[in-house]
Amino acid sequence: MLSRISDAFRAYPIDLQSIKHLDFSSLQELPDSHAWPSSHNDYPSHDPCSAELVPIIDLNDPNALDLVGHACKTWGVFQVTNHGISKELLGNIESMARSLFSLPIQQKLQAARSPDGISGYGVAPISSFFPKLMWSEGFTIVGSPLKHARLLWPQEYNKFCDVVEEYEKELKRLAAELMWLALGAFGITKEDIKWAGPRGDFRGASGALQLNSYPACPDPERAMGLAAHTDSTLLTILYQDSTSGLQVLREGVGWVTVPPVPGALVINVGDLLHILSNGSYKNVLHRAIVNRSSHRLSIAYLYGPPSSVQISPLSKLLDPNHPPLYRPITWPEYLGTKAKHFNEALSWVRLCAPLNGFVDKNDLNRVKVG
Nearer Cβ to ligand AKG, position 270 or 305?
270
Q: Which residues from 309-328 bind ligand AKG, rule CB under 6 A? A: none
Is position 90 an interface residue for ligand AKG (rule: CB under 6 A)?
no
What is the C-alpha to C-alpha distance for residues 139 and 22, in angstroms, rounded to an integer? 13
Total of chain residues touching Fe ion, rule CB under 5 A = 1
Q: How far is CA 313 from CA 154, 192, 320, in A?
A: 46, 12, 14
| Residue 50 C-beta: closest distance to ligand AKG, Å | 22
178, containing H or E segment: helix 157-184
User: Catalytic: 296?
Assistant: yes
Nearer Cβ to ligand AKG, position 304 or 313?
304
Partner touching 337 among Fe ion, ligand AKG, ligand L37FFZMX, none, CB below 5 to 8 Å by kind: none
| Residue 166 C-beta: closest distance to ligand AKG, Å | 20
> Cα-atom radius of gyration of the chain, to the nearest Å?
20
- β strands within 191-340, DSSP E: 206-214, 226-229, 235-240, 246-250, 254-257, 265-269, 286-288, 296-304
Partner touching 280 among ligand L37FFZMX, Fe ion, ligand AKG, none, CB below 5 to 8 Å by kind: none
Q: How far is CA 176 from CA 181, 237, 244, in A?
A: 9, 11, 27
Of 296, 327, 350, 366, catalytic: 296
Q: Which of 231, 271, 333, 360 is in the footprint of Fe ion by CB under 5 A?
A: 231
CB 56 within 8 A of CB 261: yes
Residue 146: CB partners within 8 Å, gap ≥ 6?
157, 161
CB 189 within 8 A of CB 252: no
CB 281 within 8 A of CB 183: no
| Residue 150 C-beta: closest distance to ligand AKG, Å | 24
Q: Which residues from 26-55 bind ligand AKG, rule CB under 6 A? A: none
| Residue 193 C-beta: closest distance to Fe ion, Å | 24
| Beta strands 77-81; 137-141: pairing state | unpaired
Nearer Cβ to ligand AKG, position 236 or 278?
236
Q: Closest residue (Cβ) to ligand L37FFZMX?
A: 232
Question: Mapping DSSP to helix (H, G, I), strand (E, B) and coil, where does residue 99 land?
Answer: helix
| Residue 136 C-beta: closest distance to Fe ion, Å | 12
Interface region with Fe ion, contact rule CB under 5 A, candidates 48-56, 58-66, 223-231, 239-247: 223-231
Is position 286 an interface residue for ligand AKG (rule: CB under 6 A)?
yes
Nearer Cβ to ligand AKG, position 196 or 297?
297
Q: Which residues from 300-359 bind Fe ion, rule CB under 5 A? A: none
Q: What are phi and psi of 116, to 5 degrees?
A: -110, 15
Question: Mapping DSSP to helix (H, G, I), strand (E, B) and coil, where does residue 63 land?
Answer: coil
Q: Closest residue (Cβ) to Fe ion?
A: 231
Q: Which residues from 187-246 bind ligand AKG, rule CB under 6 A? A: 210, 212, 226, 231, 238, 240, 245-246
Q: Which of 300, 335, 339, 349 is in the footprint of ligand AKG by CB under 6 A?
A: 300
Total of chain residues touching ligand AKG, rule CB under 6 A = 12
Q: How far is CA 312 from CA 171, 235, 259, 320, in A?
A: 24, 15, 33, 16
Helix axis angle, 157-184 to 87-101, nearest 10°:
130
Helix axis angle, 157-184 to 64-74, nearest 10°:
90
Nearer Cβ to Fe ion, position 247 or 312?
247
Go through the chain and tell me how many residues it has. 370
Where does this chain bind ligand L37FFZMX (CB under 6 A)?
5, 8, 118, 124-126, 140, 208, 210, 229, 231-233, 300, 302, 335, 338
Q: Is 313 left (phi over 0), alpha (psi -120 to 50) or beta?
A: beta
Is position 5 an interface residue for ligand AKG (rule: CB under 6 A)?
no
Q: Which residues from 57-76 bind ligand AKG, rule CB under 6 A? A: none
Q: Which of 298, 307, 312, 330 is in the footprint of ligand AKG by CB under 6 A?
A: 298
The site for Fe ion (CB under 5 A) is made up of 231
Q: Which residues are catalytic?
A: 296
